[in-house]
């Protein structure tokens, strides 16, 4: 499938998954059950009360590297659906992805000498803290602010604006690259390749997913909230 041949609402959901099986994780986050037969994307979105336009934007962002989101096709009500999806993503990362990485790190460090063990542990612990701080900031500050706007557009007490989120939006996939390079380049060859390959596969998978997560925040959520702020005089 070419970059131009993006997903459409008339295509069958099974065909969408066949085109890119990584989209299964999106279905998991949205609690869409398998067994949809010949139903189209629009049929399934209607069945689960999900915005078809938003679902397609998310899937296109995940599958096509150079896809440019079309926020004009989304409604203001989709903001709530985006934050719901992002919260589900946080849960997916913390309950599925990161435990797999943690288990692989644990298996790896058991085989290492003290110096390399401390090095890997430090990088992983630093990354774990950064991710938790990132998610906590979104859950405690950003999402409640957006919900307060949606509740009536009243000016918040702290004069918070979504631009603060944009300015301080850390790329939580970058630190994974450092850990990945240590495992690929610098650990002694004699340590188990099986464990290292398993860990690297987990890291590459979550690294790619986190990039898409950031794109959804940067290209969908922030622009839509900025529009809402202008409507409510929150500039």
> Which of the listed residues 25, 52, 68 is the one where a domain comes to its end?
68
pLDDT of residue 75: 86
CA distance 115 to 127: 19
Is residue 95 located within the same domain as residue 64?
A: no
> Could you give the 3-state DSSP secondary structure of residue 166?
helix
Partners of 12 in beta bridges = 40
> What distance, in Å, lies between the first and last C-alpha atoms of the chain?
41
Is residue 63 located within the same domain as residue 80?
A: no
Number of folded domains that form the chain = 2
Is residue 85 located within the same domain as residue 57?
A: no
Q: Comparing 232 with 1, which gets the higher pLDDT? A: 232
* DSSP code at position 23: G
* Digit-coded pLDDT (tens) for 47-73: 999 999 999 999 999 999 889 888 888
Is residue 127 located within the same domain as residue 159?
A: yes
Angle between helices 174-181 and 193-216 (to 10 degrees): 170
Is residue 165 located within the same domain as residue 85?
A: yes
Is residue 137 located within the same domain as residue 209?
A: yes
Indicate whether 3 belongs to any domain: no
> Which of the listed residues 52, 68, 84 is the one where a domain comes to its end?
68
Q: What proportion of the chain, given as a percentage, has pLDDT over 90? A: 42
Is residue 104 located within the same domain as residue 183?
A: yes
**Residue 174 pLDDT exceeds 80:** no
Indicate whether 109 belongs to any domain: yes
Query: Containing domain of residue 40, as a range?
Result: 13-68
> Could you give the 3-state DSSP secondary structure of residue 17?
helix
Is residue 125 located within the same domain as residue 189?
A: yes
**Residue 6 pLDDT exceeds 90:** no
pLDDT of residue 193: 78
What are phi and psi for residue 12, nearest 5 degrees?
Answer: -75, 140
């Amino acid at each position: 499938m070419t970059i131009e041949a993006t997903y459409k609402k008339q295509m069958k959901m099974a065909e969408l998954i066949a085109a890119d099986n990584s989209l299964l994780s999106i279905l998991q986050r949205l609690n869409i059950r398998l067994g949809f037969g010949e139903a189209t994307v629009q049929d399934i979105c209607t069945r689960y009360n999900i915005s078809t336009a938003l679902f397609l934007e998310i899937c296109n962002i995940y599958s096509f590297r150079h896809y440019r989101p079309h926020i004009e096709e989304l409604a203001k009500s989709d903001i709530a659906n985006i934050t719901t999806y992002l919260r589900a993503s946080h849960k997916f990362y913390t309950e599925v992805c990161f435990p797999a990485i943690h288990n692989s790190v644990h298996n790896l460090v058991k085989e290492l000498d003290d110096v390399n063990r401390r090095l890997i542990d430090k990088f992983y612990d630093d990354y774990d803290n950064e991710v938790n701080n990132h998610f906590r900031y979104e859950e405690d500050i950003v999402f409640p602010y957006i919900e307060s706007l949606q509740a009536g557009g009243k000016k918040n007490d702290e004069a918070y604006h979504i631009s603060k989120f944009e300015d301080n939006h850390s790329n939580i996939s970058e630190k994974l690259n450092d850990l990945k390079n240590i495992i690929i380049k610098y650990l002694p060859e004699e340590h188990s390749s099986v464990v290292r390959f398993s860990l690297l596969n987990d890291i590459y998978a979550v690294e790619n997913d986190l990039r898409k997560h950031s794109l959804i925040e940067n290209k969908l959520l922030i622009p839509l909230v900025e529009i809402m702020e202008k409507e409510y005089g929150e500039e």
